[in-house]
Amino acid sequence: MAKHVIDPITRIEGHLRIEIEVDDAGDVFEANSSSTAFRGFETIMKGRDPRDVGMFAQRICGVCTFHHFERGVEATENVYGATIPPNARSLRSLIWAAQTVNDHSTHFYQLHAMDWFDVVSALSADPAAATEEAHRWHPNPFNASVSHYSAVAAKLLAFVQSGQLGPFAGGYWGHPKYLLSPEQNLILASHYLDNLSVQRLSAQATAIFGGKNPHPQSLIVGGITSARDGLDAHRIAQYQFLMQKSMDFVQRAYLPDIEMIGSVYRQEALAGQGGGVPNYLSFGGLSLSEQPWDNRSYLLPRGVVLGRDLSTVHPVDAMKIGEEVAHSWYTYAGGQTSLHPLRGQTNPAYEGFNPDGTLKTAGGYSWVKSPRYDGNPMEVGPLARLIVAYAAGKPEVRAVMDDYVAKLGVPFEFFYSTVGRTAARALETKIVGDYVPTLLGGLINNVKGGDDRFFNRYEAKDGEGYSMGEAPRGSLSHWLVVRNGAVENYQAIVPSTWNAGPKDARGARGPYEAALVGQPMADPESPLEVIRTIHSFDPCLACAVHVLNRNGEEIARFEVEV
C-alpha cells in the first residue's frame, strides 16, 4: 500500500488537497479530500448593513461570481419580505443563463479538457484526418479545416520544441489512460484555444446587465439597477448576439466533443468509474418567476433523488440538512454529531498534518464540514440538476439526455460516472442556452406592455431569512439573521462543501471521496484518473472554505424558522 498526496490540485478555484491510498493492484482503496485555506467570511459579515450582504457574499468566489451576489441579495429580500418586479427577474435570470454558459464551457475547456486530451499526442495528428474526424461528430464542425488544424498543430509543436510549454507544461502527457486518437486530441486542443476567445463573449453578455464580470454590481435588494440597459433594444440585441455566438460554439464544438469523449471513454463510464454517491440534490436552477423560493418555478426544478431511484422526486426540506464535523478541523460543544446549519457551531480545532506531511485521517483533516441531507451524502451540480429534472419529467431535459445516450447506444446508467458528470455539464449548457430566446421574449413582451419597473419598494426590518438556488457547481444556500438593522449572523452552504466534505461520523464518504474509491490507477505516481474525477465535479474550494466561520471563543448560534 502506498500513500500519494496530490496538492495543489490545479485548475480549480481555491486550494484543494487529495490523498489517496492504493492497494497492490493499483486500485484506490482510501481517498481523503481536504481544503487547505480559510478566510472567515461569516465573521466579516457581522454588523454590516443587510443591503451590502450580496456585495460581500459575491467575493466568496470569483468563478461562481454573480451566484453568491444573487443569493446574498435574495437572503436580505427574504428577511425584508421584499419582492422584485418581472423585469428584474428577467434580467437576473438572463445573467444567470449567460454565466452558466460561460462557466460550463470555461470549466470544460480551460480547466478539465486537459484531463481528457493529450497535447503531445496531438502533434502526430494528420490535419486532413482530423478534419474528417471532426465531421463524424457534427455536419458543420467549429473551425475544422486542414489549414486551421495545421496551424494549431504548428503552434503546439512550437510550444513543445521550445521547451516552453507554459500552461501545458508538466502534464501527464503520454499517460496510458489518455484514450483519444491523435486526431481527436488535436480537435480538443484546437477547441481549447478557440474557447479562450469564445468564452469571453458570454462573460461580456453577463456584463451587459451586470456592469462587469467577474463581480457584477447591478443587483440591489428589491430589484436591479440596469433598467436603462433592460429597456434598450440595442443592449438587448447585443446580449442576444453574444449568446448566439456562444451557443454556436456550444453546438458545433462543445456538444460534439462531449459525444466523442463519451464514445471513446464509454467502457470507463459503463464500469461506473467515478460514480460516487447515488443521491442527488437540486435547489432549483434558472428561476422563471419572481416569487420567493418556496413557490417559485424553475427551468430545472428543485428536488431530491435518493439511491438513483428516478421514480420518486422528494421535495426539498431545508430542515433535513445537517452538517457534521467528525473529520473536520472543528468540534461541536455538547458532543452532537450533526447540527442543522441554522444552529451551527464553528469551533476551529486545527490538528495540522502528520510529521511526514500527510493528513491525520483518524481525526480532523479538512476545513470543510460534511453536509448531509436526511443523513445522506448528496451530489450537487449539473449532473444532480439534470437527474432531478429528468426524474421530475421535464421534457426539455428528458429529450436531451435520452438523445445523448441513444446516440452512444448506452443505457441511462452511463451518466453515473466521471464521464457522465462531464457530459451532463455540456448537456445542461445546451438546455440553458436554448432557453435564452424564451427569457428574452418574456422581457420584451413585458416591456412592450408598458411595464418599466425594475425595483419594488420595501420596508427594512429585522428577522431571519434565507435564499436557496443553484450555482453552476451545485446547490447554494445563504442564511441571514438581521437584528437592530444589522447582520447578526450569516451562513452559506456552498456546492463544493456538499461534494468535497470529508467522511461523516459513521465513516460514510462524501461524493469526491466515494467517487475515487475503487478507481483503478494505471500509475499512482501520475494520478491522471484521480484528477479527472475530481475535476469532473468542478471544484471551487475557496468557496467551500468560506463557510467555515471562525468565531474565536464565541460559539456561533444561528436560529431560523424555515
Partner 1 sequence: MSRARTQADPEAIDRTLDKASIEHYERLAAEADAHLDELAAQAPLKDVTLEDQLRRRGITRREFLKMTAVMTATMALPSMFDLRVARAAELATRLPVIWQELQSCTGNTMALIRNSNPGIDELLLDLISLEYSEVLMAPSGQAAEDQLEAAIEQYRGAYIAVFEGSVPMADDGSYLTIGPAGHTGIEIVKHVAENAAAVIAAGACAAYGGIPAARPNPTAAVGIADFLNTQRINKPVVNLPACPVSSTNVVGTILEYALFGRLPSLDAFGRPLWAYGDRIHDKCERRGHFDAGQFVEGWSDIEGLKRGLCLFKVGCKGPMAHNNCGVVRYNDGASWPIMSGHGCIGCSEPGFWDTLTPFEVPLAGRRFPVFGIDADADTIGAVALGAAAVGIAAHAGATLVKSATEQRAAKKPEAKKEQ
Q: Which of 306, 412, 455, 562 binds partner 1 (CB under 8 A)?
A: 455
Q: Are 529 and 7 in contact (CB under 8 A)?
A: no
- With respect to partner 1, which residue has the nearer C-beta, 385 or 535? 535
- Residues of this chain, 55-74, that bind partner 1 according to CB under 8 A: 55-56, 59-63, 65
Site residue total, partner 1 (CB under 8 A)? 100
Assess whether 13 carries a catalytic annotation. Answer: yes
- With respect to partner 1, which residue has the nearer C-beta, 212 or 557? 212
- Cβ of residue 533: shortest distance to partner 1, in angstroms? 12
- With respect to partner 1, which residue has the nearer C-beta, 217 or 263? 217
In angstroms, rounded to a whole number, what is the distance separating the alpha carbons of residues 396 and 427?
Answer: 11
Examine residue 40 and tell whether it contacts partner 1 (CB under 8 A). Answer: yes
In angstroms, rounded to a whole number, what is the distance separating the alpha carbons of residues 375 and 380?
Answer: 15
Assigned C-alpha cell, 280: 442527488
Burial (CB count within 10 angstroms: exposed 0-12, middle 13-18, buried 19+), residue 403: exposed
In angstroms, rounded to a whole number, what is the distance separating the alpha carbons of residues 379 and 496?
Answer: 9
- Cβ of residue 187: shortest distance to partner 1, in angstroms? 17
Assess whether 553 carries a catalytic annotation. Answer: no
Examine residue 444 and tell whether it contacts partner 1 (CB under 8 A). Answer: no
Q: Are 71 and 466 in contact (CB under 8 A)?
A: no
Examine residue 301 and tell whether it contacts partner 1 (CB under 8 A). Answer: no
- Residues of this chain, 177-216, that bind partner 1 according to CB under 8 A: 196-197, 199-201, 203-204, 206-216
The pair phi, psi for residue 413, each rounded to 5°, is -60, -15
Which is the catalytic residue, given 202, 328, 496, 526? 496
Q: Which of 162, 295, 311, 484 binds partner 1 (CB under 8 A)?
A: 162
- Residues of this chain, 331-350, that bind partner 1 according to CB under 8 A: 350
- Cβ of residue 246: shortest distance to partner 1, in angstroms? 12
- State the residue for C-alpha cell 484521480: 530
DSSP letter string, 498-518: HHH----TT----HHHHHHTT
Assigned C-alpha cell, 374: 436526511
Examine residue 175 and tell whether it contacts partner 1 (CB under 8 A). Answer: no
Examine residue 169 and tell whether it contacts partner 1 (CB under 8 A). Answer: yes
Q: Identify which range of 102-110, 134-142, 403-411, 428-436 contacts partner 1 by CB under 8 A.
A: 102-110
Assess whether 68 carries a catalytic annotation. Answer: yes
- State the residue for C-alpha cell 449539473: 382
Which is the catalytic residue, given 15, 17, 67, 68? 68
With both helix axes pointing from N to C terminus, report the angle between 418-448 and 395-408 in degrees, rounded to the nearest 10. 150
Assess whether 296 carries a catalytic annotation. Answer: no
Q: Which long-range CB contacts under 8 A does 409-415 form with residues at least 24 apart?
A: 410/262, 410/266, 410/269, 410/270, 413/270, 413/272, 414/262, 414/266, 414/269, 414/270, 415/383, 415/386, 415/387
Q: Which of 37, 128, 444, 555 binds partner 1 (CB under 8 A)?
A: 37
Q: Which of 90, 100, 102, 370 binds partner 1 (CB under 8 A)?
A: 102
In angstroms, rounded to a whole number, what is the distance separating the alpha carbons of residues 54 and 218?
Answer: 11
- Residues of this chain, 108-137, that bind partner 1 according to CB under 8 A: 110-111, 114, 119
- Cβ of residue 287: shortest distance to partner 1, in angstroms? 20
List residues with catalytic annotation: 13, 61, 64, 68, 473, 496, 540, 543
